[in-house]
Structure formats: structure tokens, C-alpha cells
Chain A
């Protein structure tokens, strides 16, 4: 009996705490008298941007409840195509199969680009022989045929040292790996297997930082946080050698190792004012906020063009 009483009190405490938070947010001064819920799910890569936007939107429209899940791009589209979410985060464009699923449920949508993600190719700071890689060289190092064969630096360029090359990269389950293999090897998910893989990019940073003969790749944001421990290598795309930076990724010269991040909006959701207002707020502020979380903004005119395109979409679907 006492145990039940104890649990009941415990539950009551939790409920009262829950009440407190909503009161707090309601007390904040809001500019927009909007309310309702906006459900978002999808890629965990896009999550930080959307989270930042939702956080700032809280100050503008405190009564709108924005929730964001991280089921992954594919998992997000599954829910999106069933009409379970209003918006979907995606680190790649929607696939034909997912389009068909949307069509089968009578769901139409608009695709918006919200930011760029750059992939950085890195070596140890003690490495003084590499200044750039060509796409072909990267392919030669990472393609499946290289396994057990391309093992030394001087196999890539004869003037490089006769030392073993140690490779570091994200695990095969990550979107970053998919993207790198597609851009470099030509086929998504196809690479040599004998490299040090980790789902935790911090481990890759440590690995490359402590190994003179290392070479690795991962998201540019991890380089920005560890500039003193790593050396960034430019990629020769055929016409020039480009290092990834805010500028080169944003203006599209750092190819092919940069990708856009997407937001998909369900057409029936734009009937509710809070969704329209949120998406507009997103496109207006994504430039600033994506920098905060380590991504790269689109050029301003691209955001403006998308705001126009989105509002045309809203008018059409009202």
C-alpha cells in the first residue's frame, strides 16, 4: 500500500514539474500568437540545423510545439510518406521508391535546400609531403580494388615516402561514408574494407592526430573544431585545387565533396499557419544558424529564391 502511495506521489511530482515548463514558456514574450504542433523527423545530420531553428522559433512563437526525431533520412521519409510528420529532414534527395510511397498515400511535397555539408580530407600535421589530392588519387586509395594492394604512400605518387598509409573513415552505416564513396569511388557504399572505421568521428580525429602516416575523411565541422590537430588537404577537381571552407563550399567550387542538406514540406501541412511561419523562419535564419552548428550556408539569393518558391507552393495548396 505504502509503495503505491509512494509511486503516486512520485508521479504527481513529475506531472507538476511538467506543468512548470509549459508555464515558463508561456510567460516568455511572444511576437506571434500561433499555437499547434509541428512534427519533424529524419536525418540526424540535418538535425542540428533544424534544432537550432526550432530553438530560435521558440522565442518568436512560444506556443508552437516543434518536435524533432532522428530516425535517419530513410526512416524519416517512411513516416513522411504516411503523413505522420509535417516536415522531413534529409541528407540526400528523396528516392524513387520513397516518391512512389508518397504518391500512393496522396502526399505531395516541396523540396528545399537548407545548408551545405562539406567533407574534409585530412592528414597528420607532421605530414609535409601532401599538398593536394586529385579525385583519381583518392579513388585509387579508397576503391574496393585497393584493398591489400595500395598500402604505401609512394604507390600514389612516387616522390612520396616509402611508408605505410593508414586510413581512417566513418563506419559503413553513416551517411557521410555513403556520400564519400559515391562522390569518389562512383558507387555509394563501395570501398576497401581495410581501414579504421568508427561511427564516432571524435575517434577518427584522435586517430589521425596521433599517426604521422594517416589519411582520413569526415565532416568539415569536425575539422573546424580540431584545426590545431589536423591538416586539411585540398582536392584537385580537374581545373584547380580547392580546400573546403565557408566560401568554397557555399559558392560550389569545392566539388564533389560537398552536399546539400534538405527539408521536405508536406503540402497539406502548409494549410496551418504555424508550419508556413516556421518554414519561412527556417529559410530566413538557416544561413546564420547553420554556421553555428558547423555547416555551411547557401548563398543568400538561393535562400531568397526558395522563400519565393515556398510561398508560391503555399498559395497553390491552401
Chain B
């Protein structure tokens, strides 16, 4: 028998729980908004400082000691070169490694060690990659402080992220698809290439784009590798010297003249544009591939 007193107690408890539920909802909204508001404030501030400075000349001019004459041409070209080379190096390598680990590697001590190391690599500070890149790519392989050496270093930096993201997306592909493919007589490789990868492409691309966005904003490892602050020419081939936008921004922010602060804000806008365009391209291809697979 449930007495009236008990019913009241239960009703009270339910009320408290509902109230807690509401409270958490508000808290969640507040947390989301904090991130969003900070982003809006940050972008707004940068736009106010820098948007007036951007014109065609700013994009095509070489570095200069006079803020109003200086442009980001070489840094922008350097960043685009690094972006493209890093994509070409890290994307196939990372995806292949993930396929191996997820589909081929036998579960055992060896693959366990591999997995732990990859997760650990994702947490190594970026400057350490810079030192590694300086020793291996710049000195031992003799690539010099080139775009290629910089891109290889950044590829190392983002490989763990790509591998982890790719593995998660492969894991998320329904088992039924795999079984159906095998049932139709497809080999393992045919199944991976024609079914698993297209089905996982959305997640893979998201991972690649997030990691490339990180790479394009890195300064410390590239300074260590030997990326320059003043280069009067855009790279013509992968072994050329280079500079990148974050280094240019860093350099301008540390100058006393106010004009350079404006320049830095304008360069940040350009860097954001590069990142947004890259994300746009990825979203476009992700949607296209996902439609095709569906």
C-alpha cells in the first residue's frame, strides 16, 4: 500500500529531479554560448582592426618595413604550399595506417604497442615535432629549411589525429555492409575500397580537415625547422625556403608601430579565410561522397 505521505515524497522527488534537469539544460546552453560568444567577439575584434587594411595590394605585396606597403604574398603562398604538400603526405599515409590497424593488424602485443604509441603521439607538444623535423628532415635527409621539410614535420604532427579519426569512422561502418560485400564474393580489399572507405569518408574527411586546420596555424615547429620571417619570393618548388602566415602575424604583432598591428589583424583574417575555404571544400566533398554512397 502506498500511503499519501509516500506519494507526496515521490512527487517531491520528481519535481526536484525535473528542476535539476532544467538547471542542467540552462547550464548546457550557457556553456555552448560562452564558446560561441567568445568566437564572435574574437572575430569581430579582428574584423574591426583589420578589414580596412585588406586590399589586393596586401595580398600581392612583399614584406616591408613600412606597414602600409607590406603584404602577405610570400607568407600566404608558403602557407598554401605547406597545406597542399601536407595534405598529399599525411592524408594517404594516415588513412593507409588506419586501414592497416583496423582491418589487417592482428590483435596482439605488437598492435597494442602501436596503438598506445599513436595515442601518445597525439599528445606530444608541437615544438618537439619541430626538433624532430630539424634533426631528421633538415639535417639527416638534407632537405634544408625547405617547404618539404616543413610539410613533412607538420605531417608527423597531424598523422596521429588522422589515424585516430579514420579508425573511429571505419569502426562506425555497420557490420551488415561488410557482410553483404563478402556475401557477394568481394575480396577484403574490394570490400575496403568499394564499401568501407566510401561509407567512412565523412568521418575521415572531418578528421583530415580538423588536423589540417591545426597544421596551417602552427608556428613553433616551423620556426624550429627554419621557416623564415622574411622571404622576398614565393616558393617555386618543394625545396625552396618559405615563410607562413602565422610567423608573419607573430612577427608583426611584436613590432612597435601601430600600422603593423593592423597588418597582423588583416593577416589573421586572410588565415581565417584560408581555413574556412578549406573547410568548405571538405564539407562539399563529404556531402557529395555521402550522397553517392547512400
A14-B81, A219-B256, A222-B256 known; A54 vs B232 contact (CB < 8 Å): yes
- Find B230's partner among A10, A54, A225 (CB 8 Å cutoff): A54
Residues of B within 8 A of A276 (CB): none
CA distance A301 to B66 in the complex (A): 27
Q: Say whether A18 contacts B228, CB under 8 Å.
A: no
Q: Say whether A200 contacts B229, CB under 8 Å.
A: no
- Count A-B pairs with CB separation below 8 Å: 107
Residues of B within 8 A of A182 (CB): none
Chain B binder among A187-195, A265-273, A286-294: A286-294
Chain B binder among A61-69, A100-108, A156-164, A255-263: A61-69
Q: Say whether B235 contacts A67, CB under 8 Å.
A: no
Q: Which of B227-261 contact A (CB under 8 A)?
A: 227-236, 241, 247, 251, 253-258, 261
Q: Is A284 part of the binding interface, using a Cβ–Cβ cutoff of 8 Å? A: no
Shortest Cβ distance from B81 into A: residue: A14
Q: Is A98 part of the binding interface, using a Cβ–Cβ cutoff of 8 Å? A: no
Q: Say whether A67 contacts B228, CB under 8 Å.
A: yes
Q: Say whether B236 contacts A22, CB under 8 Å.
A: yes
Q: Say whether B73 contacts A71, CB under 8 Å.
A: no
Q: Say whether A11 contacts B63, CB under 8 Å.
A: no
CA distance A219 to B228 in the complex (A): 24
Sorting the interface of chain A by its residue count into under 10, 10 to 19, 20 to 34 or 35 or more gives 35 or more
| Interface size in chain B (residues, C-beta < 8 A) | 39
Q: Which of B56-86 contact A (CB under 8 A)?
A: 62-66, 73-74, 77, 80-81, 84
Q: Is A178 part of the binding interface, using a Cβ–Cβ cutoff of 8 Å? A: no
Least CB distance from A316 to B in Å reads 29
Q: Is B182 part of the binding interface, using a Cβ–Cβ cutoff of 8 Å? A: no
Q: Is B226 part of the binding interface, using a Cβ–Cβ cutoff of 8 Å? A: yes
Shortest Cβ distance from A64 into B: residue: B232
A17-B77, A18-B234, A294-B256 known; A68 vs B65 contact (CB < 8 Å): no
With A7-B88, A70-B223, A293-B65 already in contact, 8 other A-B pairs whose C-beta atoms are closer than 8 Å: A14-B80, A17-B77, A21-B234, A44-B229, A44-B254, A69-B223, A69-B229, A222-B256
